[in-house]
Amino acid sequence: MVLYLKEFKIKWGMVIDLDRCTGCGACMVACQAENNIAPPVDASNKRYSMTWLLVYQLSNKQPYPNHDVAYMPRPCLQCGKPNCVPVCPVIATDKNQEGGIVSQVNARCIGCRYCMAACPYHARYFNWQDPVWPEGMEKTLTPDVSTRPRGVVEKCLFCHHRYMYARDKARIEGRDPNALNEGDYIPACVEMCPTGAMVFGDLQNPEHKVHKLSKSPYAFRLLERLNTKPQVYYYSKREWVRKQGDNYLEHETVGGV
């Protein structure tokens, strides 16, 4: 059970610059292709949609000349105190590996969906239907990601297989697999982001860009007051974006700045 903050020497994390994100959705596409998420049979049915990474639209709700929008990509936030972990009756999800990625072993999941109820970020998805790929597309599946059957919960794992391969490469080159350089391991969405809005690295390592960015006064975490300590930071110089990121009421001021 994880009800306390899990500390790791390595903490993989992301800083997403919401002022740079154009909402193009390349990260969503990259995620779907990389992680063998089947194309939806009926995309109009939002309750059955599978998108480990979702781009939300934020609006400051002001009339025209002052109107402003921001786009917010939301992967699994890999919380330091994950709500999904203590509620799992079969320990299919856990945060116990160096790197601080909240794991999800789909083969172990019994589909009770307690984790989905517990996650305040809606980062988990339930397979209502068996995945169906168009004929021939099975050849494009990533062999390092298992496909999930109907009846299990799945989520973003920061492309965990890429982490494993980065470690293997380091081992073969005679480097320490626990001291990866920046860029050795990046998830598909970060690699694909055309504007460079997503930055990935070790939050604990001062040599990584995310370390500095996450400490910026413009950085915030989603619903920070829930105290889940996510390892995904957002970054925006616009105050209204930071306010919405934590559901601030109108009369409240944003902490930090």
Partner 1 sequence: MMEEKKGGTSAGGVVLPFLLGFVAALAFGWWGVPQLLFSKKTQPLVFTHQNHIELYGMSCDDCHSFRRDGSFSGLPDNAKCAECHSFPMGDHPDEIKFVEEYYEKGIEVPWLVYQYQPDNVFFSHAAHREYDCATAGCHPDVGSSNELPVYYENRLTKYSRDTMKMKDCERCHATVAAQEPERFAGAPNACQTCHK
Per CB under 8 A, residues contacting partner 1 are 9, 91-92, 94, 96-98, 101, 103-108, 144-147, 157, 160-161, 164-165, 167-173, 177-178
CB of 50 to partner 1, least distance (A): 17
End-to-end alpha carbon distance in the chain: 35
Residue 17 or 94: which CB sits closer to partner 1?
Answer: 94
CA distances from 119 to 80, 113, 223 (A): 13, 10, 12
CB of 210 to partner 1, least distance (A): 21
Residue 106 or 231: which CB sits closer to partner 1?
Answer: 106
CB of 256 to partner 1, least distance (A): 33
Identity of the amino acid at 17: D
User: CA-CA distance, 190 to 43, in Å (whole number)?
Assistant: 25
CA distances from 76 to 2, 13, 124, 233, 252 (A): 17, 11, 8, 11, 27
User: CA-CA distance, 140 to 121, in Å (whole number)?
Assistant: 30
CB of 43 to partner 1, least distance (A): 27
